[in-house]
Amino acid sequence: MEINKKPSLDSITLEMIVTQLAEHVGWEAMGEAVPIRCFTHDPSVKSSLKFLRKTPWARKKVEQLYLQHAPF
């Protein structure tokens, strides 16, 4: 019997998600996948966290992007 294990976001902070994506995928690819200003214009972890914490739809897309690329 094969168990289908999906990656989980348990114990992973939003800061960890943004930092790991920036390191492994790059800001440009992140901006193409999730076209938000904090990824495309002068990107930084700090500005991204500020925006993503206030914007649930964008956070969900970034989390999905992370799960597509995990594990690093």
For residue 8, the model assigns a pLDDT of 79
Q: Which residue has the higher pLDDT, 65 or 10?
A: 65
Give the model's pLDDT for residue 5: 61
Measured CA to CA in angstroms, residue 41 lies from 11, 17, 30, 44 at distances of: 29, 19, 12, 9
Residues with Cβ within 8 Å of residue 71, at least 6 apart in sequence = 7
Inform me whether the pLDDT recorded for 51 exceeds 60: yes
Alpha-carbon distances, residue 23 vs 1, 4, 5, 43 (angstroms): 36, 28, 25, 12
For each of the domains in the chain, give its residue range(s) and CATH number, in order of start: 14-69 (1.10.720.30)
Q: How high is the pLDDT of residue 70?
A: 84
In whole angstroms, give the CA distance from residue 19 to residue 13: 10
